[in-house]
Amino acid sequence: MDDPRLKILEKLKETKGFVSGTQLATELGVSREAVWKQIKLLQAMGFPITAKPRQGYRLEGWPDRLFPAAVLPLLRGKWGRPYYHYPQLQSTNETLKQMAASLPEGAVVVAEEQAGGKGRRGRSWHSPPGGIWFSLLLRPAVHPLALLSLPLVLSLAVVKSLSGFFPELDWALKWPNDILCRGKKLGGVLVEVAAETEQVHWAVAGIGINVNISSFPPELEGRATSLELCRGKKSCRPCLLAAILERAEELYSLWCREGFAPLAKDYQALFLYRGRRVRVEEEGRFWEGKAEGVDDKGRLVLRLDDGSLRLLLGGEVTLREVRNSYEKENCN
């Protein structure tokens, strides 16, 4: 954390009252005038810092922007360094893929909005200002087939992070990569990989979360939601992003060591369609049956009508038993 602004923010964040300019200057090894200049820059960036003569400086809150100065002081793990922030990108995944060869594991690319955000199966992803749109570079020492469960690991990490902040909300996961809140889609994970038959070179995981978004285009109304709509108020995006990175790093490390098995029980508890009749499209073929959950490799366990089990590696899942209009609107 060499940037003096980050050091100043770290000190102000951990202090409830005022911090004197003399103390900050001594700890940073600079003049009081240099501290004052950095404070002015932070104020211009949106940090609400109160300055009082003979008392010093006090941080009154945190801005709703994802620039490095707002996120890096909140990080507790290794991930998020280096951290690249852009006002707008076509796609954070595409940008990080172009940079992947020269970056370490844990590097992050963040955009305030995406003009060409991507979802699974070539779909576009609505990515306006107010969301958390980022991509994470991973270099797992696993067999390429193990990567099939990586979206489940990361989506589980997101829900664990968000539910820690907002336990009152109804959280669920739709296999293999959707994050739902109160029955509607709140976010998702898209993993793209560079690998050979036996070796993974890198994986870029794009994660999108609707946070401070108050409305959606007509084609998404009824299917998509945001934390703002679910809570009735805005959330601190830098706080959420830092927490997600920390929890994702924790679950990813466990997954790299032991596979998906230790995480399967937690995923099962959040699995939206467990015990429900579903239809799964897998590479142009269709299967119908009862979704019994996921196995220790992250595969969907489907009980077919003839009683046999089918383990699915991927596909598009839709609910077949619709009990009421609410489920029909929110679960498909």
Q: State how far the alpha carbon of 127 is from the alpha carbons of 97, 105, 155, 245, in Å.
A: 19, 25, 18, 19
pLDDT, residue 64, reads 87
Can you give the residue range of the structural domain that contains 22?
Answer: 4-59
**Strand-strand pairing, 108-114 and 83-89:** parallel
Mean pLDDT of the 198-213 span: 95
Is the pLDDT at 119 greater than 80, yes or no? no
Mean pLDDT of the 140-160 span: 96
For residue 286, give the H/E element and its range.
strand 285-294
Largest CA distance in the chain: 80
Co-location of 85 and 233 in the same domain? yes
Co-location of 281 and 263 in the same domain? no
Is the peptide bond preceding residue 176 cis, with omega within 30 degrees of 0? Answer: yes
Which residue positions form the known binding site for biotin?
91-93, 114, 185
What's the pTM?
A: 0.85
For residue 319, give the H/E element and its range.
strand 316-319
Mean pLDDT of the 89-117 span: 94
For the ranges 96-110, 116-130, 197-211, 298-312, which has the lowest average pLDDT?
116-130
d(CA 298, CA 292): 12
For residues 112 and 123, is the Cβ–Cβ distance under 8 A?
no
Work out how many domains the chain is built from and give that number.
3
Give the type of residue at 134.
Answer: F
Co-location of 9 and 148 in the same domain? no
Is the pLDDT at 33 greater than 90, yes or no? yes
**Structure token pair of residue 185:** 């889609």
For the ranges 1-15, 141-155, 165-179, 271-285, which has the lowest average pLDDT?
1-15
Mean pLDDT of the 63-89 span: 93
DSSP conformation class of 124: B
Is the pLDDT at 234 greater than 70, yes or no? yes
d(CA 170, CA 59): 33
Q: What is the mean pLDDT of the chain?
A: 90
pLDDT band at 281 (very low <50, low <70, confident <90, very high): confident
**Looking at residue 306, which CATH number applies to its domain?**
2.30.30.100
Co-location of 282 and 228 in the same domain? no
Domain stop point among 270, 291, 307: 270
For 203, residues 6+ apart whose C-beta sits below 8 A from its C-beta are: 137, 138, 139, 140, 147, 150, 191, 192, 193, 194
Mean pLDDT of the 79-91 span: 95
* Neighbour-count burial for 129-155, b at 16+ CB within 10 Å, e otherwise: ebbbbbbbbbebebebebbbbbbbbbb
Is the pLDDT at 331 greater than 60, yes or no? no
Co-location of 52 and 131 in the same domain? no
Which residue positions form the known binding site?
91-93, 114, 185
3-state SS, residue 44? helix
Is the pLDDT at 123 greater than 90, yes or no? no
pLDDT, residue 222, reads 82
Is the pLDDT at 324 greater than 60, yes or no? no
**Looking at residue 159, which CATH number applies to its domain?**
3.30.930.10
Is the pLDDT at 320 greater than 80, yes or no? no
Co-location of 143 and 181 in the same domain? yes
For 139, residues 6+ apart whose C-beta sits below 8 A from its C-beta are: 104, 105, 200, 201, 202, 203
Is the pLDDT at 332 greater than 70, yes or no? no
3-state SS, residue 197? coil
Is the pLDDT at 49 greater than 70, yes or no? yes
Co-location of 187 and 318 in the same domain? no
pLDDT, residue 122, reads 53
Domain stop point among 253, 270, 287: 270
